Chain A
Amino acid sequence: MSTTDKPTVDTPESALSEEELATVAPEVMASTFGEYVHARIARIKHGESGALPVIVGLIAICVFFEIERSSFLHASNLVNLFVQASIYILFGAAETFVLLLSEIDLSAGFGAAVGAFVMLELNATPVNFPWWLAILGGLVVMAGIGALQGSLIARLGLPSFIVTLGGYLGLTGVMLEVANVDKTAVGGVITANGTIAKLYSSHISPTAGWVIMIVCVAVYGAIALLRQRSLANQGLSAAPLGVTVLRIAGVAVVGIVLTLIFNSNQGTSAIAIRGMPYLVPLVLVIILVATLFMSKTRTGRYMYAVGNSPEAARRAGINVKWIITLGFILSSVVAGFAGLVYASTEGSMSTDFNGGQDVLFAVAAAVIGGTSLFGGRGRIVNALLGGLVVAVVFNGLGLMGVSAAVQDMVTAVVLIAAVVMDALVRRRATTR
């Protein structure tokens, strides 16, 4: 009864217990925290394990690779790993939008390639758009692709598997055509120049990195604390203060560790490279904005509603067809960013782009992150974890010199394991 995290409906006077919380000794605080932990464990037992198994799995994989190849946890490799991961993270986030709607987008990989080609060609001669207009142009094309596929699926009620399978084939063709538009693209390769290339090749200075990190953690901490105080003071559902503090501490630790990694020398002793590539904060901002959109806006909530029960959403007056179409548009646009990051890290776009494999990793990243294939369950931010797992597996196996064949097989096992876990959690949740 003394908790503020669960104000029961029959005791709306829990504001009183909040006063206790604000004034009493930390021991009482700890008991609230303990109850929180208790509730957490109960949730895990009920199949609502959240991100925990993924984090444990990620650490286990990292330890394994570090034992096998001591270069795995070196700064240079870790930075490389984060850059690799950022592509999978964005693909995973893109796929999460449609998976939440209980749909799938198989065309995301080649869609991203088309978007990236458009960006690079708009940025290059003869068009010579400034970098931001070129990126915007590519994103508009992506939105168009999403709107077309989404409309076919939502308005005509076609299965997304088939429509986006068509998109997969069609966009492969479009990619080959687009690569031919530019006569300077010898052999279907077009180089990234200027700002687009610098997203990857330029680094934020170590000092600026520290400042940005500290500002981000401080802003997050302030918002989280104020929110927790305000909710708790009004007797509304809020996490115990201890949990909020712990979360802020966790974010700070992650921020410090990442900044330390990025600020250590990634180059050689002769030519030092330090700092965070610009694309890392770009990816984080995209994930943050997408996550907030899904959790804090009406449209985001409607996407969760439609994903769980289109009929309930329809009766609540929600425009289900538009929500589904919008899901595909957002998915496509985020996939466009993935294409941009890919082009920047490679320094070019080529028709060798493996969009088929990328889309599978996109689904893998989303599902490993905890997004359900059955719709309505998952969060965009989880793609961070999912993308990291995919990148770690790939990166580590690469370091071990394992053949491409084995890499594919291992990644497949990880994906299937994630889907099995999703199905088991779901079964457990329904038979409760």
Chain B
Amino acid sequence: MTDTHSLLSLRGVYKRFGPVQALRDVTLDIPAGKVTALIGDNGAGKSSLIKTVSGLWPQDDGQILWEGREVHLSSPRDSEHLGITTIYQDLALCDNLDIVQNMFLGHEPVRHGILDEVAMERSAAQTLKELSVKTVKSIRQPVASLSGGQRQSVAVAKAVMSNAQLVIMDEPTAALGVAQTRMVLDLITTLAGRGVAVMVVSHNMVDVFEVADRIAVMYLGNCVTQGPASEFTRQSAVEWMTTGTITKAVAS
């Protein structure tokens, strides 16, 4: 069950709200350089898990290990310091700022109190190039003028810029067209190729099987199974998601 090179590991994690158990006994491994797809039905606990890992909802019980050492994620700042970046569906971009400005928001380099635009533009261009983001006309165009896929790319580049080790993406391809989805999936693969651990939360089975190296299934607050994507078929994944278990017939 335990991966030898797990970047982030959850061991018996619980999160309760009064009588409601949002997470119960979750054990999950996120290895570096791999894309882990987190799937599950509505209310299965995917969002709760993201919030716990990103420090918004500290767990009530259980351990969270980062590179094998126990860590306490009691605020978003703690997660950020470790190198965990969460990209929510709203992407948290400022429409009125350009791509460079968004990528550096909150971390702008300054020289004598003046924003160092040259350094920012250089390193933003470099990062976008490394991520093979090619479709934007100018990196000085405001984010408002970008397509959904391009915005997603900017959000990812922003995470890379901040030296993220683990990037959690919440439904990255929801509401995107075919070409845009293609672009984002490629980006996810590139990101993992750089050694970054990527956790993708998705409903879209086609996308999941296209991009994921590993699959983890949530059911009623519990992570009922996890393993290499090759061990799952679309049918078995759906059965895990809807019933929390698997029948022999489907498994074979």
A contacts, CB < 8 Å to B: 6-10, 12, 230-231, 234, 236-237, 296-298, 301, 304-305, 307-309, 311-313, 315-318, 376-377, 429-430, 432
Q: How far is the CA of A12 from the CA of B136 in the complex (A)?
A: 13
**Inside 8 A of B144's CB, which chain A residues have their CB?**
429-430
Contact, CB under 8 Å: A237 / B92: no
Contact, CB under 8 Å: B139 / A312: no
Residue B18 lies at the interface, judged by CB distance under 8 Å to chain A: no
Which of B105, B114, B129, B145 has a CB less than 8 Å from the CB of A305?
Answer: B105
8 contacts between A and B (CB under 8 A): A9-B129, A236-B118, A304-B94, A304-B96, A312-B94, A316-B105, A317-B80, A376-B96
Q: How far is the CA of A112 from the CA of B142 in the complex (A)?
A: 36
**Inside 8 A of A236's CB, which chain B residues have their CB?**
118, 121-122
**Inside 8 A of A9's CB, which chain B residues have their CB?**
125, 128-129, 133-134, 136, 138-139
Contact, CB under 8 Å: B106 / A318: yes
Which of B90, B128, B145 has a CB less than 8 Å from the CB of A311?
Answer: B90
**Inside 8 A of A234's CB, which chain B residues have their CB?**
118, 122
Contact, CB under 8 Å: B125 / A6: no
Evaluate whether A312 and B93 lie within 8 angstroms (CB atoms) in the complex, with A9-B134, A9-B136, A301-B108 already known.
yes
B contacts, CB < 8 Å to A: 76-77, 80, 90, 92-97, 101, 105-108, 110, 113-115, 118, 121-122, 125, 128-129, 133-134, 136-140, 144-145
Distance of A337 from chain B, by nearest CB (Å)? 22
Contact, CB under 8 Å: B94 / A308: yes
Q: Which 8 A-B pairs have the closest CB atoms?
A: A316-B106, A376-B96, A312-B92, A317-B106, A316-B105, A308-B96, A10-B134, A6-B138
Distance of B182 from chain A, by nearest CB (Å)? 17
**Inside 8 A of B137's CB, which chain A residues have their CB?**
6, 8
Evaluate whether A305 and B118 lie within 8 angstroms (CB atoms) in the complex, with A10-B134, A316-B105 already known.
no
Q: How far is the CA of A313 from the CA of B90 in the complex (A)?
A: 13
Distance of B201 from chain A, by nearest CB (Å)? 17
Main secondary structure on B side of the interface with A:
loop
Closest B residue to A312 by beta carbon equals B92
Distance of A365 from chain B, by nearest CB (Å)? 21
Contact, CB under 8 Å: A301 / B101: yes
Evaluate whether A231 and B118 lie within 8 angstroms (CB atoms) in the complex, with A6-B138, A7-B138, A308-B97 already known.
yes
Distance of A200 from chain B, by nearest CB (Å)? 33
**Inside 8 A of B93's CB, which chain A residues have their CB?**
309, 312
Q: Which of B90, B94, B140 has the most CB of A within 10 A?
A: B94
Distance of B25 from chain A, by nearest CB (Å)? 30
Contact, CB under 8 Å: B95 / A309: yes
**Inside 8 A of A7's CB, which chain B residues have their CB?**
125, 138
Evaluate whether A237 and B105 lie within 8 angstroms (CB atoms) in the complex, with A9-B128, A308-B94 already known.
no
Distance of A244 from chain B, by nearest CB (Å)? 16
**Inside 8 A of A377's CB, which chain B residues have their CB?**
96
Q: Which of B92, B105, B136 has the most CB of A within 10 A?
A: B105
**Inside 8 A of A316's CB, which chain B residues have their CB?**
92, 105-107
**Inside 8 A of B90's CB, which chain A residues have their CB?**
311
Q: How far is the CA of A230 from the CA of B125 in the complex (A)?
A: 17
Contact, CB under 8 Å: A237 / B96: no
Distance of B84 from chain A, by nearest CB (Å)? 13
Distance of B246 from chain A, by nearest CB (Å)? 38
**Inside 8 A of A297's CB, which chain B residues have their CB?**
110, 113-115
Contact, CB under 8 Å: B96 / A312: no
Contact, CB under 8 Å: B136 / A318: no
Q: How far is the CA of A135 from the CA of B44 in the complex (A)?
A: 63
Closest A residue to B100 by beta carbon equals A237
Q: How far is the CA of A10 from the CA of B138 in the complex (A)?
A: 10
Which of A10, A318, A429 has a CB less than 8 Å from the CB of B105?
Answer: A318
Contact, CB under 8 Å: B94 / A309: yes
**Inside 8 A of A315's CB, which chain B residues have their CB?**
76, 92
**Inside 8 A of B140's CB, which chain A residues have their CB?**
6, 237
Q: How far is the CA of A81 from the CA of B145 in the complex (A)?
A: 39
Evaluate whether A307 and B96 lie within 8 angstroms (CB atoms) in the complex, with A9-B134, A301-B108 already known.
yes
Q: Which of A7, A9, A236, A377 has the most CB of B within 10 A?
A: A9
Contact, CB under 8 Å: A301 / B118: no
Q: How far is the CA of A285 from the CA of B87 in the complex (A)?
A: 42
Distance of A230 from chain B, by nearest CB (Å)? 8
Closest B residue to A430 by beta carbon equals B144
Contact, CB under 8 Å: B115 / A305: no
